Amino acid sequence: MLADAPTTAKRDRTAREQPTLEFHSVSRTLASLPVLQSIELEVECGSFVALVGPSGCGKTTLLNLAAGLAQPDEGVVLYNGVPLLKPNTNAGYLTQDDALLPWRDVLSNIALPLEVKKVDKAVRTKAARRIIQKVGLVGFEHHRPAQLSGGMRKRVSLARTLIYQPATLLLDEPFGALDAQTRMLMQNELLELTRELGLTVLLVTHDIGEAIAMADRIILLTARPARIVEVVDVSEADKRDIREEREHTLFSHIWNHLAEQSQIRG
- pLDDT at residue number 7: 47
DSSP string, 68-99: TSS--SEEEEEETTEE--S--TTEEEEESS--
**Which phi and psi angles does 242 have, rounded to 5°?**
-65, -25
Domains of the chain by start residue, with CATH: 1-90+202-266 (3.40.50.300)
Residues 50-77: tens digit of each pLDDT: 999 988 889 999 999 999 999 999 999 9
- Contact between 215 and 203 under an 8 Å Cβ cutoff? The reply is yes
State which H helix or E strand residue 18 sits in: none
pTM of the predicted model, to two decimals?
0.85
**Which phi and psi angles does 106 have, rounded to 5°?**
-55, -50
Taking residue 2's Cβ as centre, other Cβ atoms within 10 Å add up to 14
Average pLDDT over residues 75-94: 94
